[in-house]
Structure formats: structure tokens, C-alpha cells
């Protein structure tokens, strides 16, 4: 006789190749603590409403506890014929407590059971990711506070544009990860909805108390529609979308660290403990961590596209295709979690070459806009000022000098309104301090942003 819970309908056993092809146990076995926790709550609810006795419930709960310990200590045998973690636990429970185990599945289906376990897993994973991102935000604030007087070039089109504070640069990533936290927090609200009790798709005839089960499992709400409860994967799509955006931010900072650590930039040195060497070139120190995070970003994008494609044409309600949601989900959770963790370890240990950054900010005519602003302050229309400075830059290029290295007489050849005080306007300190518009790089603005961030991160 087959050991399948659905074997009554079939005249012959399942082919071994089908068992291997349909098995998901090597993937979904990591849901075991959530499956057992959900089963215990379901069992308690069945006893509360009188579907099973309290004695039966106690036997089942004790048996599930023993199975949990077996799984925790890797003392559990897996078999493809049992398909998934849910059937493995049920079969083992039957061995452990006898026929009373056959009552556990009353008033539920694997459809709502797997939806429950997936939501519980993602609820915990999202909480860990939010905590990790908040720790990373704290590190960025600490770095900003440490580099309030470090000037570097700001870039557009990867060309030197205007000087900014390195602290301002760190705080830009703080804002990105802050938005990520908000997105994950928002998606968590829709993840934290209990589907159990929807059964296969239509609900159940048993007098279950879904609200009680939800309270036991710390769900603030229950799924309102049984069809939607078992077929909804929007909550995973939302998480993967938020994760994809978050990995964009990791990829951007990774690209900058790769560039900054190159000999061409030499703005930073990555810690030896977070770098690798070459198998053939003894002098090499490779930025493998930022490169790998940048590379793994593509895998997260792929996981999102996998699930979007998987769900795009599925009719209601549950379809076996949905079994393929978990490899994508688990992959993204692992990649994002490890990226957060390794960046939190690596960033505080980066060496900043302040002098190199300052020299880079002092060359390349980064004070051209400030010269134009000076002319505007003298009554010259901005478009005209822009043209004047452009000609001055062209002249300086020909002389092999920066704007502030030209003489007053040379500068006055482009506009008679220029006076000696222009040289104060063209210093790095003046350029930074004058950018007082909200969100600008002036030191007092950045200090205020740091103070706000510290307040936001205070529990």
C-alpha cells in the first residue's frame, strides 16, 4: 500500500521518477520550525473547538516537540517519496504517536499549510533584514560623523562636478537604506496575515476558530478570502521587489568602493581581511566583496523575474507551479542577508585617504559653478555668467592651471566685475559652507542630518 495521504484515488503507485521530480524536500525542509509551530497552534485550536480531545492534542503537541528536536539536531531521515516537509513531519508523527497523528490534518490542507509556513518564514526573515539594515544605517551615521571635515569630489557622469563632504556621501546611502527599511516594513504588514483555515481553497465544514489560531501564532489578521489565501504570493513578490531595490543600493555602493580602491582613484583602501589576492600576480589586492555583492544583485533580480513569470497566468486557486516560489524566496533572503552582514562588518574597517580625496576635489575646475555664482552676485545674469566662466575654464586649460590659480588680472579679462574677493569664493571650504539649501552639503546641514538620523535610530 502507498504511504501517500492521497493514495485512495489511485490504482497504481507513483513512479520513482515522478517522486524525484515533484519532491521539494531539499528546498522546503528549512520551513520545518514554522510548520511545526503552525501544527501545534492548529492542534490547540482543534481541541478548543472540540474537534479533538485535550488528551489527543497533548499527545500531538508532545510528538511534534520531539520531531522538532530531531530536526534541530539533524537527526531526521528525509525521503523523496514524502514530497515535502509537511508530509515528512506528518509521517514521522504517525510513527511516534500512532493513529492519533492522522487527526492533525483535520480542517486544513497542504495548500493553506504551506502558505502559513512561508508567511511565518518571511515574517521572521523580513524582521532580521530590517534589523540588519538599521545596524548598517547606524554604521553609516558613525562614518558620516567621523568624516565631517573630509572633502571629496562629487560626480555626475563619473566626471568631477562639485566638492562635497564625504559625510554627505555616506548620508546619501543612509537615505537609500532608510527607504528600504520603510519598504520592507510596509510589505511586512501584508505578509503578516494568517491563511490557515482556508483549507484547500473553499474553507472547511469544521467549526474552527481562525482568530484563535492567529492569536497563538501572533498574526494580527486573517486572510479574508479562502481562494486568495491559498493562491496569494503577492507578499513574496513585494518582498522580492523591495529586495531588488535594496540590492540596487548595495550594487551602487559596491561599484563606488571598487572604483575608489583602484590605483586610479586611491580614495580608500579596503581591509585586508575583506580582500583577496591573485593566483599569478603577487601585487594584487582585489575588491572581491564589493564585486560579489554587485554580481549577486543580478541573482536577486532573477528571483523576482522568476516569481513574476511563475504567477503571471495562474488561475485560481492553488497550482503546483507555486512550489517553485521557495527557491527564489530563499535565495534572495540568503543573498540580501549576507550582503547586509558583510557590509556591516567591512565598512567600519575601510581606510579613507583624506588627502587624496581633497586633492581630487581641488582640481578639475570644480569651482567653476561657484565662480558663476559669484558673478551672479555681482549682478551678471546666470546664463551670461555661465558663458564667462566657460571661457575662463578654456583659457585655464590652455595654461595648465586651475581657475583659482589664475591671476586677478587674468580673471578680470573675462569680466570687469571680478574683484579680489573672488579667490575666497573659490576655496573648498567656501564652496562647501555656502551650500546651505535644504539637503545641501554644507557642514551644518550634514550635522543636522546626522542628528536627525541618530534620533530616527533611537529605539
At 277 the three-state DSSP class reads: coil
Alpha-carbon distance of 147 to 57, in angstroms, equals 61
Residue-number span of the structural domain to which 249 is assigned: 111-205+221-351
- How does residue 63 score in pLDDT terms, banded at 50, 70 and 90? very high
Alpha-carbon distance of 328 to 305, in angstroms, equals 9
Q: What is the pLDDT of residue 280?
A: 86
pLDDT 10s digits, 135-171: 999 999 999 999 999 999 999 999 999 999 999 999 9
Pair (294, 422) in one structural domain: no
Pair (294, 395) in one structural domain: no
Residue 278 known to be catalytic: yes
Q: What is the pLDDT of residue 5?
A: 63
In a domain, 99, yes or no: yes
Rounded average pLDDT over 119-131 = 98
The CATH number for 95's domain is 1.10.275.10
Q: What is the pLDDT of residue 270?
A: 96
Task: Give the closest residue to 90 by CA, choosing from 108, 76, 106, 104.
Answer: 104
Pair (176, 281) in one structural domain: yes
Report the number of distinct structural domains present in the chain. 3
Pair (178, 296) in one structural domain: yes
Alpha-carbon distance of 310 to 288, in angstroms, equals 33
Instruction: State the DSSP code for 176.
Output: H
Which listed residue (131, 221, 262, 278) is catalytic? 278
Residue 157 known to be catalytic: yes
Alpha-carbon distance of 193 to 237, in angstroms, equals 15
Pair (159, 282) in one structural domain: yes
Pair (52, 174) in one structural domain: no
Alpha-carbon distance of 209 to 394, in angstroms, equals 79
Between these two residues, 221 and 20, which has the higher pLDDT value?
221
In a domain, 3, yes or no: no
Residue 177 has pLDDT above 90, yes or no: yes
Residue 79 has pLDDT above 60, yes or no: yes
- How does residue 21 score in pLDDT terms, banded at 50, 70 and 90? confident
Pair (263, 384) in one structural domain: no
Q: Mean pLDDT, the chain, as a whole number? A: 94
Residue 325 has pLDDT above 90, yes or no: yes
In a domain, 231, yes or no: yes
Pair (122, 196) in one structural domain: yes
Q: What is the pLDDT of residue 1?
A: 37
Which listed residue (157, 263, 416, 437) is catalytic? 157
Pair (335, 369) in one structural domain: no
Q: Domain ends where: 351, 376, 406?
A: 351
In a domain, 412, yes or no: yes
The whole-model pTM stands at 0.92
Q: What is the pLDDT of residue 233?
A: 98
Alpha-carbon distance of 295 to 233, in angstroms, equals 26
pLDDT 10s digits, 288-308: 999 999 999 999 999 999 999
Alpha-carbon distance of 137 to 352, in angstroms, equals 19
Amino acid at each position: 500500500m502507498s504511504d501517500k495521504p492521497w493514495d485512495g484515488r489511485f490504482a497504481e503507485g507513483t513512479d520513482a521518477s515522478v517522486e524525484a521530480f515533484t519532491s521539494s524536500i531539499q528546498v522546503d525542509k528549512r520551513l520545518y520550525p514554522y510548520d511545526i509551530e503552525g501544527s501545534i497552534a492548529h492542534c490547540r485550536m482543534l481541541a478548543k473547538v472540540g474537534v479533538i480531545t485535550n488528551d489527543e492534542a497533548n499527545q500531538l503537541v508532545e510528538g511534534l516537540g520531539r520531531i522538532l528536536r530531531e530536526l534541530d539536531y539533524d537527526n531526521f531521515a528525509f525521503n523523496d517519496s514524502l514530497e515535502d516537509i509537511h508530509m515528512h513531519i506528518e509521517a514521522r508523527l504517525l510513527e511516534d504517536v500512532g493513529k492519533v497523528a492522522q487527526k492533525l490534518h483535520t480542517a486544513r490542507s497542504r495548500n493553506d499549510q504551506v502558505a502559513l509556513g512561508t508567511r511565518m518564514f518571511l515574517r521572521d526573515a523580513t524582521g532580521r533584514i530590517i534589523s540588519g539594515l538599521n545596524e548598517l544605517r547606524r554604521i553609516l551615521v558613525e562614518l558620516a560623523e567621523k568624516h565631517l571635515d573630509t572633502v571629496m569630489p562629487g560626480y555626475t557622469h563619473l566626471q568631477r562636478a562639485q566638492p562635497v563632504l564625504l559625510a554627505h556621501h555616506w548620508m546619501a546611502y543612509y537615505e537609500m537604506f532608510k527607504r528600504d527599511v520603510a519598504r520592507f516594513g510596509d510589505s511586512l504588514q501584508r505578509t503578516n496575515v494568517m491563511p490557515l483555515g482556508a483549507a484547500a481553497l473553499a474553507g472547511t465544514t469544521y467549526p474552527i476558530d481562525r482568530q484563535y489560531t492567529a492569536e497563538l501564532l501572533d498574526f494580527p489578521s486573517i486572510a479574508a478570502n479562502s481562494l486568495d489565501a491559498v493562491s496569494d504570493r503577492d507578499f513574496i513578490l513585494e518582498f522580492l521587489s523591495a529586495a531588488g531595490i535594496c540590492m540596487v543600493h548595495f550594487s551602487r555602493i559596491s561599484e563606488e568602493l571598487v572604483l575608489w580602491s583602484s590605483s586610479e582613484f586611491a580614495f580608500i583602501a579596503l581591509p585586508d581581511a575583506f580582500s583577496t589576492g591573485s593566483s599569478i600576480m603577487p601585487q594584487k589586492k582585489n575588491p572581491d566583496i564589493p564585486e560579489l555583492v554587485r554580481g549577486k544583485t543580478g541573482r536577486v533580480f532573477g528571483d523576482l523575474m522568476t516569481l513574476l513569470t511563475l504567477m503571471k497566468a495562474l488561475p485560481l486557486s492553488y497550482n503546483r507551479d507555486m512550489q517553485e516560489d521557495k527557491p527564489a524566496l530563499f535565495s534572495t533572503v540568503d543573498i540580501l542577508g549576507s550582503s547586509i552582514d558583510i557590509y556591516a562588518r567591512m565598512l567600519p574597517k575601510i581606510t579613507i585617504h583624506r588627502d587624496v580625496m581633497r586633492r581630487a576635489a581641488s582640481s578639475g575646475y570644480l569651482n567653476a559653478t561657484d565662480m558663476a555664482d559669484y558673478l551672479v552676485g555681482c549682478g551678471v545674469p546666470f546664463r551670461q555668467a555661465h558663458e564667462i566662466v566657460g571661457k575662463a575654464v578654456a583659457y585655464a586649460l590652455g595654461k595648465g592651471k586651475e581657475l583659482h590659480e589664475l591671476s586677478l588680472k587674468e580673471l578680470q579679462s573675462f569680466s570687469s566685475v571680478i574683484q579680489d574677493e573672488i579667490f575666497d569664493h573659490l576655496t573648498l571650504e567656501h564652496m562647501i559652507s555656502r551650500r546651505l539649501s535644504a539637503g545641501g552639503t554644507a557642514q551644518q546641514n550634514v550635522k543636522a542630518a546626522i542628528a536627525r538620523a541618530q534620533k530616527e535610530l533611537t529605539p
